[in-house]
Each structure stands twice: as structure tokens, then as C-alpha cells.
């Protein structure tokens, strides 16, 4: 029995995810305990149960079935994203939800999975090479189509996850260093320009040096350099076109203290909650920031501050270790499976979970802008929890079939 379990079930991933989900449910209970919002706790319990069943079902699927369904599921998900623009429910200014009684479903979360599957299916085809422009454009198109529809909702936070995932998948699938730099450098220039002209000039100078050292195609190098300058120079114009609340989030990221009772309030309170936990925390249901509701709706994007306050530095580190364990095992699975398709699916899942983790914890600690990205397995949200459980089910599925070609 033990040999069968070791051969067919990645126990490390399974138990890490179950513990994380349990911590998330306990944290949501604590965050809603004195706020009259326990309904969110009960809903999360229901979604956790459904997610567990989905995870088990997917892990037991026949291996070939998954690959055969990749394109049909992707096309269906695109149709749903189009439908939601017409019939979707608007929540917090974003038309990205389907409402079912007291529950809501956010398709853009589930579409992350179908996009990864379609991307893996295409990149694993024998004739596809990321050295050919046609194949690169089709690869981009698979991701940019759902991204465009999600931006129309609008939901910039979720769209960023897709773009980050694409970058990691391209690297894993064998894209050239030159192509990766072409995608990364303009983004770095855009971020640098937010911090001032000096930062922007430094990035431009570094870009020139890197392109010179690589000694790649001169025309392509000139295009990348021009694009970097254009993107960086356009940031202020684009910033002026953003909605006021989006501008406030960027201002808050750069300096939260400029509006401590407005846009910067959540970040300041989150840092206070995490910092006040000390080494061992104040105890379950004993966190003052949590129980006195200093941080609005802390069971969603700022859930990390709840265990951070109640279980201190030790509790926060345990969560990081559990998340890191899942990501590490995911990379191991991606490295050991025989199928190229399975390997790309695994790395797409790992990168999606990793980007969520980095951005969410960075938001809570004030080192990343607040863009509404939930923490995997912990934040309240049925759609996100179901998506995470589906992705874990896929990892377990790939592990069990790791010797299949």
C-alpha cells in the first residue's frame, strides 16, 4: 500500500495544500468572527469541499483525455469571457462575475487553467519552434486573447498574472534569452520611470549595455531599444488615462503615507498587523488589528496579515514554507515528467501560483502595489480556491502519470 501511494500520489503536495487550505479557512473565520461576516467563512468551507472533490477527480483522469480536451476547453472559456462582458455582474467596478444566488463565479480565474492547457498543447506540437516568428506570435495570441477580454472587464490584476505566466512558460519551453529580454526590459523601464527620470535613464543605459554584450541581430536590438524607450516615455501619458482609484494605488505603492486615511490605509494597517505579531503572535482570535476590524475585508487580499498577527513571524514563515514546498515540488514534477506537454502544464501552474504569492505577500508588506491579487489557498474567494484546487489536481495527475510520453 505504501509503495502504491508513493508511486501514484505526491503526498508532499497533497498535505501541504490541505494544511494551507485549513490555515486559510481558520484565518477567514478569525477575520470575520467579530465583523458580522461569518457568511464568508461558511461559503469558503463549501468551496473548499467542492474544490477537494474536483482535485481528486482531476488527479484520477486518464492522461490522454487531458491533452485532447485542451483546445476545446480553451475555446469554451473564451466564449464564456465574451459572454460575461454582455451578461456579467458588476462588482467593485469590474464586470467579471456570474451571480448564483448568494454565490459568485469569476470565469477569469478558471480560464487561467484552460489557457495553460492550450499553451502547453500548442508548444508541445512537434512542428512548433520558438525560434520562428509565426510560432511566437501564435503563442502570444493564445495568452493575449483572454488577457484582452479580461482587461475589457476591466481586471488588470488578473491580466498581469496571465502575462507573468507566459514569460515563465516561454523560458521553460526554450525561448531564446534575447526574446525573454525583449519582453522583460520594456516592463522594467516602465516601472523605473515611475520612480523618476534618473531611474529611467539608468535602465536605458543598462539596456544598451546588455544588447551590446549579447551581439544579436542589430535590427532586432534596435527595435527592442526603441520599444524600451517608447514604453518608458509613455508611462506618464498612460498614467494620466488610468481611473482615479488605479492612480491612487500607484501613489500608495510609491508612498503610502501620502494618504494614510485613504488609499494608503489598507497597506499601513496590514504592515501594522504583521509587525505587531512579533515572534509568536498574539494567539488565535486575539489579534487586535484583526478583531477590531482596522483593515476592511481583510479576509480577501490582505488575509496574510491575519496569521501574521495571530501566529507572528513563526506563523508567517510556516505559510511561506508550505507555499514554497508546493512550488518546489511543482518544478520537480515539471522536470521529471516524460511528456513535454505535461512539463509545460506543470510549469504554467507553478508560475501562476508563484506570481500570486509574490504579489499578494508583497502587497501585504507594502513592497508591491495593491492590485487585488489573492493569496493561493488562503484568501476568501470561491473562484480562486476552485482554480487553485484544480491546478493542484493537475499537478497530482501529472505526478501519477509522470512516466507517460
- 352 domain-assigned: yes
**Is this structure's pTM higher than 0.85?**
yes
Q: Are 333 and 399 in contact (CB under 8 A)?
A: yes
Q: What angle do CA 29, 32, 35 make, to 5 degrees?
A: 155
- 178 domain-assigned: no
Report d(CA 250, CA 246) in Å as an integer: 7
Grid cell at residue 140: 502570444
Cβ contacts of residue 87 below 8 Å, gap of 6+?
Answer: 98
- 119 domain-assigned: no
pLDDT at 73: 94
Q: Are 37 and 373 in contact (CB under 8 A)?
A: no
Q: Residues 306-333: pLDDT tens digits?
A: 999 999 999 999 999 999 999 999 999 9
Count of domains for the chain:
1
Grid cell at residue 123: 508548444
Burial code (b: 16+ CB inside 10 Å, e: under 16) for 4-18 equals: eeeeeebeebbebbb
Q: Residues 131-165: pLDDT tens digits?
A: 888 999 999 999 999 999 888 887 778 888 998 99
- 199 domain-assigned: no
- 89 domain-assigned: yes
pLDDT at 322: 97
Long-range contacts of 270-274 (CB under 8 A, 24+ apart): 270/295, 270/298, 270/302, 270/304, 270/305, 270/363, 270/364, 270/365, 270/366, 271/364, 271/365, 271/366, 273/298, 273/305, 273/306, 273/308, 273/309, 274/304, 274/305, 274/308, 274/309, 274/316, 274/364, 274/365
Domain encompassing residue 63: 2-107+257-400
- 248 domain-assigned: no
Question: Mean pLDDT per segment of 10 residues, for the chain of length 405 residues?
Answer: 74 95 94 82 93 94 88 94 80 65 77 95 91 90 92 81 92 87 84 80 86 77 83 75 68 63 72 85 83 76 90 93 96 94 96 94 83 90 92 95 83
Which residues are 404's β-sheet partners?
none
Long-range contacts of 240-244 (CB under 8 A, 24+ apart): 243/93
Report d(CA 246, CA 370) in Å as an integer: 9
Kindly write down the DSSP assignment for every residue of 142-185, as one continuous string. HHHHHHHHHHTTT-HHHHHHHHHHHHHHHHHTT--HHHHHHHHH
- 16 domain-assigned: yes
Report d(CA 199, CA 373) in Å as an integer: 27
pLDDT at 209: 86
Q: Which residue's C-alpha cell is 515540488?
A: 329
- 100 domain-assigned: yes
Amino acid at each position: 500500500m505504501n509503495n502504491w501511494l508513493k508511486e501514484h500520489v505526491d503526498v508532499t503536495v497533497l498535505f501541504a495544500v490541505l494544511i494551507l487550505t485549513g490555515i486559510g479557512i481558520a484565518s477567514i473565520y478569525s477575520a470575520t468572527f467579530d465583523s458580522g461576516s461569518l457568511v464568508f467563512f461558511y461559503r469558503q468551507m463549501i468551496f473548499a469541499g467542492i474544490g477537494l472533490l474536483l482535485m481528486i477527480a482531476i488527479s484520477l483522469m486518464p492522461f490522454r483525455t487531458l491533452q485532447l480536451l485542451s483546445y476545446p476547453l480553451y475555446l469554451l472559456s473564451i466564449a464564456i469571457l465574451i459572454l460575461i462582458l454582455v451578461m456579467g455582474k458588476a462588482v467593485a467596478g469590474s464586470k467579471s462575475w456570474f451571480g448564483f444566488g448568494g454565490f459568485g463565479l469569476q470565469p477569469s480565474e478558471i480560464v487561467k487553467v484552460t489557457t495553460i492547457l492550450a499553451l502547453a498543447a500548442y508548444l508541445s506540437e512537434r512542428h512548433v519552434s520558438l525560434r520562428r516568428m509565426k510560432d511566437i506570435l501564435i503563442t502570444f495570441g493564445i495568452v493575449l486573447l483572454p488577457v484582452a477580454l479580461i482587461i475589457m472587464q476591466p481586471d488588470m490584476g488578473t491580466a498581469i498574472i496571465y502575462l507573468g505566466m507566459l514569460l515563465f512558460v516561454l523560458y521553460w519551453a526554450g525561448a531564446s534569452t534575447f526574446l525573454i529580454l525583449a519582453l522583460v526590459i520594456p516592463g522594467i523601464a516602465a516601472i523605473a520611470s515611475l520612480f523618476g527620470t534618473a531611474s529611467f535613464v539608468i535602465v536605458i543605459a543598462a539596456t544598451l549595455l546588455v544588447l551590446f554584450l549579447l551581439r544579436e541581430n542589430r535590427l532586432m536590438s534596435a527595435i527592442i531599444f526603441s520599444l524600451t524607450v517608447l514604453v518608458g516615455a509613455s508611462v506618464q501619458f498612460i498614467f494620466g488615462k488610468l481611473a482615479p482609484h488605479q492612480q491612487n494605488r500607484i501613489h500608495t505603492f510609491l508612498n503610502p503615507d501620502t494618504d494614510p486615511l485613504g488609499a494608503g490605509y489598507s497597506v499601513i494597517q496590514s504592515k501594522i498587523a504583521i509587525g505587531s505579531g512579533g515572534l509568536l503572535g498574539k494567539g488565535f482570535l486575539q489579534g487586535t488589528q484583526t478583531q477590531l476590524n482596522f483593515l476592511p475585508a481583510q479576509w480577501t487580499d490582505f488575509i496574510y496579515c491575519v496569521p501574521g498577527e495571530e501566529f507572528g513571524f513563526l506563523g508567517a514563515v510556516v505559510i511561506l514554507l508550505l507555499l514554497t514546498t508546493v512550488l518546489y515540488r511543482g518544478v520537480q514534477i515539471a522536470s521529471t515528467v516524460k511528456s513535454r506537454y505535461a512539463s509545460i502544464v506543470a510549469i504554467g501552474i507553478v508560475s501562476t501560483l508563484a506570481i500570486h504569492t509574490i504579489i499578494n505577500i508583497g502587497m501585504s508588506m507594502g513592497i508591491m502595489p495593491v492590485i487585488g491579487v489573492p493569496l493561493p489557498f488562503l484568501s476568501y474567494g470561491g473562484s480562486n480556491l476552485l482554480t487553485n484546487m484544480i491546478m493542484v489536481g493537475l499537478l497530482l495527475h501529472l505526478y501519477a502519470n509522470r512516466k507517460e510520453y
